[in-house]
A and B are shown apart, each in its own frame.
Chain A
Amino acid sequence: MELPVDGGRCPGCQQTLEPGRAQGLCPRCLLVRVAFATEADGAAQPASAVPDLAVVAVAFPQLEILEVIGRGGMGVVYKARQRSLNRLVALKLLAPERVTDPAFAERFRREAQALALLSHPNIVTIHDFGVAEGTPGAPGGGFYFLLMEFVDGVNLRQAMRAGRFTPEQALAIVPPVCLALQYAHERGIVHRDIKPENLLLDREGHIKIADFGIARMLGGGGGTDVSAGSVPAGVGSGPTAGTATRVTAAGTPQYMAPEQREPGQGDHRADIYSLGVVLYELLTGELPGARLDPPSTKVEIDVRLDGVVLRALAIQPEMRYATASEFRTQVGAVAFGTAAGARRESVHPATRLIRASMGFLYRPEELETFGGQMLPGSRRGQWVLEDERLTFLREGQQTVIPLAAIRDVSIGDLPRSMNPAGLDLLQVTYEESGREVRVVLLVAPGWFAWPWTWNAGVAEWAELIRKAVVERTGQEPAQTPRDKLPTAKNGRWAVYLLPLAIAVPGMVTFLLLALSRNPPRRDSLLLFVTSLLMIPLGTYAGTLGFFRLMRRWSDNGKPSRRAGLWTLIAAGGAILGVAATLWILLFRPWASIHAPPSEPMPMPTAVEARQESVP
């Protein structure tokens, strides 16, 4: 930043500076910072950005400027009286230091025109906008201003400071905000900076959203395609691509949706996220932390609210409510339910999140194919169990299983080729347009799990789904025994094929090498090939047996009869593997495979040769 030189005036307060004093800085602004910055807010907005009332009064002769009613990163707001109509208005001057972009004027005009078309009882109306000229010394030539409806009341932040909201009060605030957001979103306008400071409560208790689109106006970036009515309501149509705008990151960090941190990201669902943060704060009195604790763990509220709030706060936009009206419906259902004491009977029962986990979705048919078995980690997504439905979310697609349609929940074995350790899978059968559909759920909390923790997780999910279905329908879903599941037999052949697949290429190579030369010794060749086969087979059988054994023990607390068999397999496999490895290492059979042409028959074996060499 350049120190002011032209005319020796402070760019902040327009005071003439005395040369050579205070290191060229403005002593008044220095002290203003000291006086008005709070400890918590060290980088507070410089008060120097607030133009004096007198200066503003000169620039706006048609207004009687009454007082400053707010200031923030976006600018200053004055309460004023419009002389011609004798009404109170709010005059917002956009902070001159934010207006650095030469393209700003054009963007400002376009956005303001779009905003002026918004006419909604829950949105602060814009009366006029423009640039006020004739402000001597003001950087940038003049004030960019918006003349708005004056709301006689407080903002939500001030109301929160004055006292905690009851859950009922908090819930009453969200529906009108959602209505207004839906209205604006349908017109392609995203607020981008929903926060308590921008939600105004008037004296009658009506709520109004202020500063629509200002964040975008000041956010820089290229042109936006805002035009009234260009985007249809996005209900059920997934992401409404049209509302996405190209802007740099602007907004208030604590209330910003994760995708808004990336410049140019964030559509109308960013507003839903921000409103979710506001609701969370209203309910709990604090902002959601890095680990998102459901609100009911912090304060005593209806647990159904957890699901509502957490859905709005989902990291991925696809997982949030698709529209503001959907959010409103859900909040309304809880609010209505709370008031009437009703629960499931309401027309739109609120969904409650029961459990969510990373995992995979397979069709059983896929597990029957070799490729399906060999690619276990290819399609990771998220399983979400709510009290209405079970959903699998992957980038750009989702599979929804209504709990009421679930007929069967069973635990089975994963095909053994994927699964020497004996992992379980969860199979859910449900009805979809008259057909029975089977899906396999794999729930993998992380990339690594012990077989027993994995299986415990599967059992827990099975139990949760079962309970949720019973609660929803009153009927227990069926349960198919482990060995009757279609996946049970599949892949057993792979248990044997897999080690062979590892061993065979090596053996073939070896044989080809050996046969391409002189006739090899048959007995040592046989031994070598056998031992090569034994290493993978033995190791594999050992591993299999070990994990099966662990599983038996962890299941029952004591080894069963089958566990004895598996112990035998494990021990045998391990001994075979170790013996074969040792034999190869010690006797180096490859050394004696080729008979040197000059030596007479019969050739000594490797062992004999060794013994002979030792006197």
Chain B
Amino acid sequence: MNAPESDAFVTTRWTQVLAARGGSESARVALGELCGAYYRPVLAFLRRTGTGAEEPEDVAHAFFAELLGGDGLGGVDRGKGRFRSYLLGALKHFVANRHRRSARKRHGGEVEHVPIDGGDAESGERILDLAAPELEVLFDREWAFTVVEGALARLQREAAESGTAAQFSVLKAWLSFGDEPGSQADAAAKLGLNEGAVKVAIHRLRRRFREIVRMEVRQTLPEGLSVEEEVQNLIVALSGPTGRG
């Protein structure tokens, strides 16, 4: 479990990055892995803010390259912020810079145009308010999805490794929804297990899921912040109206 995972589910520590302030090689690796886990929130954010002619994916890569390229780490807050806040800050900065650059390019020359009326009539693009709460919610929401989906994927992989993939696909519904006693009996019949075994399997699945999520969330927190609080933040982020437009 301590070995670095190849996909989204990394076991590095934000505290490690904070402690080394990006100075050490391992901190750099850790940051890279954290960024990998945050790829989708970043992508969603970029999609929402618009990337012009470029593919959002390319822009996301550019962002991470810049972040990991060295300069980015200098911006790591000395305080005790979450990785989530740090990354969002860096992303906003990056997007703002990008917009400024593209605007300069369009307007030809080094003169910087400052929008007066809140709209850029010439490009037809709405000027982004990068401080809008909905962007933050979108970002957090994607992060919550990443955590949940990553944990599910990991459970699925673990189930496949232990030869209980079929069991997982049937029982995963109990990870989120209620406990209708009758339906457990159905599941038991479907899996050819007795009901007691199904109960135990569900219990284990839930416990493991909880472990994985908490572990993953903890990776992104500095010392002293509670995992519970962060999970509740994510629940709040997921509680809004579906944020796809």
Contact = CB atoms under 8 A, between A and B. Distances in A.
Interface of A: 1-4, 10-12, 15-16, 18, 21-23, 25-35, 37, 39, 42-43, 45-46, 48-49, 96-97, 100
B2 interface: no
B231 A12 contact: no
A42 B214 CA distance: 14
Nearest to A27: B148
A1 B177 contact: yes
B152 A22 contact: yes
Nearest to A73: B179
A243 to B, nearest CB: 26
Which of B149, B176, B213 lies at the interface centre, i.e. has the most chain A CB atoms within 10 A of its CB? B176
Given A27-B144, A35-B232, A48-B176, A43 B149 contact: no
Contact of A3 (B173, B182, B213): B173
B100 to A, nearest CB: 33
B92 interface: no
B235 A35 contact: yes
A26 to B, nearest CB: 5
Interface stretch (B53-61, B123-131, B237-245): B237-245
B145 A48 contact: no
B213 to A, nearest CB: 5
17 contacts: A1-B180, A1-B184, A1-B187, A22-B149, A25-B148, A25-B176, A27-B144, A34-B210, A35-B231, A35-B235, A43-B179, A43-B199, A43-B203, A43-B206, A46-B178, A46-B179, A48-B178
Contacts of B178: 11-12, 46, 48-49, 96-97
Interface string B67-97: 0000000000000000000000000000000
A11 B174 CA distance: 12
A12 B176 contact: yes
A32 B244 contact: no
B177 A26 contact: yes
Given A23-B152, A25-B148, 15 more contacts: A1-B184, A1-B187, A4-B177, A18-B242, A22-B152, A26-B177, A27-B144, A27-B176, A29-B176, A30-B175, A30-B213, A43-B199, A49-B178, A100-B180, A100-B182
Contact of A37 (B151, B183, B210): B210
9 residue pairs, one from A and one from B, having the closest CB atoms? A29-B176, A1-B183, A97-B178, A28-B238, A25-B176, A27-B148, A35-B231, A1-B173, A30-B176
B181 interface: yes
Contacts of A31: 144, 147-148, 213, 231, 234-235, 238
Given A18-B244, A49-B178, A25 B209 contact: no
B228 interface: yes
A42 B207 CA distance: 6
B210 A33 contact: yes
A27 B239 contact: no
A30 B209 contact: yes
Contacts of B228: 35
Contacts of B234: 31
A23 B199 CA distance: 21
Contact of A33 (B149, B206, B241): B206
A22 B156 CA distance: 12
A27 B172 CA distance: 12
Contacts of B151: 30
Contacts of A96: 178
Contacts of B180: 1, 97, 100
B182 A34 contact: no
B199 A21 contact: no
Contacts of B179: 43, 45-46, 97
B186 interface: yes
A2 B186 CA distance: 10
A100 B181 contact: yes
B10 interface: no
A16 B148 CA distance: 16
A70 to B, nearest CB: 18
A29 B177 contact: yes
B210 A46 contact: no
Contacts of B177: 1, 4, 10-12, 25-26, 29, 46, 48
A28 B172 contact: no
A29 B209 CA distance: 12
Contacts of B183: 1-2
A48 B209 CA distance: 17
Nearest to A31: B235
Nearest to B181: A100
Contacts of B172: 23, 25
A572 B198 CA distance: 67
Contact of B186 (A1, A12, A23, A34): A1
Contacts of A21: 145, 149
A37 B231 CA distance: 12
Contacts of A22: 145, 148-149, 152
B206 A10 contact: no
A1 B174 contact: yes
B176 A34 contact: no
Contacts of A25: 148, 152, 172-173, 175-177
B173 A32 contact: no
Contacts of A18: 242, 244
Contacts of B144: 27, 31
Contacts of A34: 209-210, 213-214, 231
Contacts of B149: 21-23, 27
B29 to A, nearest CB: 27
Interface in B148-198: 148-149, 151-152, 156, 172-184, 186-187
Contacts of A4: 177
